[in-house]
A and B are shown apart, each in its own frame.
Chain A
Amino acid sequence: MPDKPDRNAIEVVNVSKIFGSGEGQVAALDKVSVSIRENEFFTLLGPSGCGKTTLLRLIAGFDFPTAGEILLYGQDIAPLPPFKRPVNTVFQSYALFPHMTVADNIGFGLEMLGKPKAEIKARVAEMLKLVKMEALAGRRTAQISGGQQQRVALARALAPQPKVLLLDEPLSALDYKLRKEMQIELKRLQHETGITFIFVTHDQEEALTMSDRIAVMSSGKILQVGSPWDIYDKPAERFVADFIGETNFLTAAISGTSNGKTRATLKSGTTIEATVAEGFQPKDNATVVVRPEHAKLTKDKGDLSGTVENIVYFGTDTHIHVQLDSGEAFTVRQQNTRSAGCGFERGDKVGILIGNDAAQVLRD
């Protein structure tokens, strides 16, 4: 990872947002605190209704927090209207102005800031080049494709050189291939402009591939903040482990926790080493997660034993679903080779080996 300066671009401090009143009150955000560093590609990840878009709208200024502070480089911007915040948004629906050309759309923010015409023209040309839309500058926004609209929306939001760029599921309307292209494009733009990006998505793969850091949200709370690697390999809670990638949940007895490590005794009686989630309170029984690709299937005796239930071929790898003798389900992901099959068949009695650094104990 490249070096990031430690300055915080955005600090969200104890922010709550409550919609409705009386009986119908819904807390869209419940005392959320998070710091977003300068020049960072930061992702808010979570299922729909988790509050990620609400948080984005609070930062943009379309809604105002019920409680708490939002600091932009140390200054509280929570009470400011959106047009007084040096923050721009790329909308999920793009929200391009249909009565203006592509160039007019991109220049709109600068025009509103009262920049001189010549400067606007130069900046618009620069933006058009950045998103490779020079040829379509004079088009109406209804006359360009979805992917092109996406680029225009990006250029429009980047043109006024905001301190922070907010992106509200901007890729969700694109088809798979275009989405992949735009993911790379977004990373490139973030790198070239050096602007802090706050990206909202429900797509865990998108979050993992693009972000410097991810905040996983659920029911108005941030459950975990960390690098993609942290989030994937060291999930703190069941929700995080479940939402991102596939994983196996095992119940285990815990003993001897120290220095972020512990010993977990599985139902099969085997004891393995495991890392411990941040904020773990020592207790007797806990949930241990093991990613399917961090376990190995063997015909001999392993840490766990069971019967092969199902084998699913995925091209790059094969998923082998095993019914453990303890009654739990366990999936192993095995890399495929050209020359041989996966080596197992339905009904086979198998053992499962869990590596030294494969298990993580959750805090809930």
Chain B
Amino acid sequence: MATAEEVAKAAERRDVRDRWLLSAPALLVILLAATGPLLIVLVYSFLTPGAYGDVKWQFSPDAWISVFMERDIFDDTLSLAAAHVTIFWRSIKLAVVTTLATLALGFPTAYFMATRSEKTRDLWLFLITIPFWTNLLIRTFAVLQIIRNEGIINTILLKLGIISAPIQILYTDTAILIGMAYVYLPLMVLPIYASMEKLDFRLVEAGYDLYATRFKVLRKIIFPLVKPGVIAGSILVFIPALGAYVTPVVLGGGKNMMLSNLIELQFGQGRNWPLGSALSITVMVIVMLALLAYVRNAGKSGVRHG
């Protein structure tokens, strides 16, 4: 006869087995849909490009070398891939500026929404999410209509006589930033709003009561308490902004290549899938490093939540 200990052990084994069986479907989806493709990308980055796209199953570190280095076609010497570095830097700059712009616009917006009455709050939330229902391309073209030379802004300014010739906004960096900020603003507003809504506004009153001016209350009380929302919003904006494809092409006129354009090029006209794969993984690593640095830095500056 089995002792009580053996019975307990058997039950525990059964328990563990059941747990694995029950979570198997979810694990399978994660494996097939997320980890699998990533592994394929990683493997491709170490192969040789085929003549008509695709890859040849032959190991080669060339793709990784050309991410950072340029091989001189005459004497085979390696030098820093200045073009790639420029494109990386341009994309990172755009992502950072977009994040800052959405934060500057989104924080007051979220504050405004959170301080409305409960009924009107839902309306504002609804208004903020409406753009999500529209295709990204259409939204981008809508922005184009507003800022182009014959667009709403220029027409009104001309009619009012404030300017004598249309201001060239379209196909500039400003145009890209306007488009990016518009497209990604909800991703910043929603997490900040979620934090702000939970904020106990009596703490704000307590701050005022203890001689804190409006600015000090914002800096010392509101901001530290909604920081998790700010961090989440920044991450949600930064990651897609780094890989933004449509907006820079449509509003920037494709004059300045972005990371996403570069990667797309390798899988299209460039017919260099390994380089495309290596570039993709490099972007991923940059994002991860940036996030690590950001979260750690945000955590260090004093806010521990009780």
> Does A associate with B in a complex?
yes
Assess whether B200 is in contact with A95, with CB atoms less than 8 Å apart.
yes
Assess whether B224 is in contact with A89, with CB atoms less than 8 Å apart.
no
Interface code B17-58, partner A: CB below 8 Å = 1, 0 otherwise? 000000000000000000000000000000000000000000
Chain B contacts of A140 at CB under 8 A?
Answer: 304, 306
Q: A93, A112, A142: which contacts B211 (Cβ < 8 A)?
A: A112
Interface code A211-246, partner B: CB below 8 Å = 1, 0 otherwise? 000000000000000000000000000000000000
State whether A89 and B306 are in contact (beta carbons under 8 Å apart), knowing that A83-B212, A95-B200, A97-B221 are contacts in the complex. Answer: no
Assess whether B210 is in contact with A99, with CB atoms less than 8 Å apart.
no
Asked whether any CB of chain B lies closer than 8 Å to the CB of A150, the reply is: no
State whether A112 and B212 are in contact (beta carbons under 8 Å apart), knowing that A95-B200, A140-B306 are contacts in the complex. Answer: yes
In the complex, chain B residues 201-220 whose Cβ is within 8 Å of any chain A Cβ: 202-203, 205-213, 216, 220
Assess whether A160 is in contact with B208, with CB atoms less than 8 Å apart.
no
State whether A141 and B306 are in contact (beta carbons under 8 Å apart), knowing that A82-B205, A89-B206, A97-B206 are contacts in the complex. Answer: yes
- Give complex CA distance A141, B209 in Å: 19
Chain A: interface residue total (CB-CB under 8 A): 27
Chain B: interface residue total (CB-CB under 8 A): 21
Assess whether A108 is in contact with B210, with CB atoms less than 8 Å apart.
yes
Chain B contacts of A96 at CB under 8 A?
Answer: 206
Asked whether any CB of chain B lies closer than 8 Å to the CB of A65, the reply is: no
Overall SS of chain B's interface = helix
Chain B nearest CB from A77 CB (Å) reads: 13
Chain A contacts of B202 at CB under 8 A?
Answer: 91, 93, 95
- Give complex CA distance A113, B207 in Å: 12
Assess whether A95 is in contact with B203, with CB atoms less than 8 Å apart.
yes
State whether A83 and B211 are in contact (beta carbons under 8 Å apart), knowing that A89-B206, A97-B206, A112-B216 are contacts in the complex. Answer: yes
- Give complex CA distance A62, B207 in Å: 11
Chain A contacts of B296 at CB under 8 A?
Answer: none
Interface code B180-216, partner A: CB below 8 Å = 1, 0 otherwise? 0000000000000000000010110111111111001
Interface code A82-101, partner B: CB below 8 Å = 1, 0 otherwise? 11000111010101111100
Chain A nearest CB from B249 CB (Å) reads: 43
Overall SS of chain A's interface = mixed
State whether A95 and B211 are in contact (beta carbons under 8 Å apart), knowing that A142-B306, A143-B306 are contacts in the complex. Answer: no
Asked whether any CB of chain B lies closer than 8 Å to the CB of A358, the reply is: no
Asked whether any CB of chain A lies closer than 8 Å to the CB of B159, the reply is: no
Q: Closest B residue to A141 by CB, please name it.
A: B306
State whether A89 and B203 are in contact (beta carbons under 8 Å apart), knowing that A99-B225, A112-B216 are contacts in the complex. Answer: no
Interface code A144-181, partner B: CB below 8 Å = 1, 0 otherwise? 00000000000011001000000000000000000000
Assess whether B208 is in contact with A81, with CB atoms less than 8 Å apart.
yes
Chain B nearest CB from A143 CB (Å) reads: 7
Assess whether A60 is in contact with B209, with CB atoms less than 8 Å apart.
yes
Assess whether A156 is in contact with B306, with CB atoms less than 8 Å apart.
no
Given A62-B205, A82-B205, output 5 extra A-B contacts at Cβ < 8 Å: A83-B209, A89-B206, A98-B203, A98-B305, A112-B220
Q: Nearest 6 CB-CB pairs, A to B? A: A140-B306, A142-B306, A109-B210, A95-B206, A112-B211, A82-B208
A-B residue pairs in contact (CB < 8 Å), sample of 22: A62-B205, A62-B208, A62-B209, A83-B208, A89-B206, A91-B202, A91-B205, A95-B205, A95-B206, A97-B203, A97-B207, A98-B203, A98-B306, A99-B225, A99-B304, A112-B211, A112-B212, A140-B304, A142-B306, A143-B306, A156-B210, A160-B210
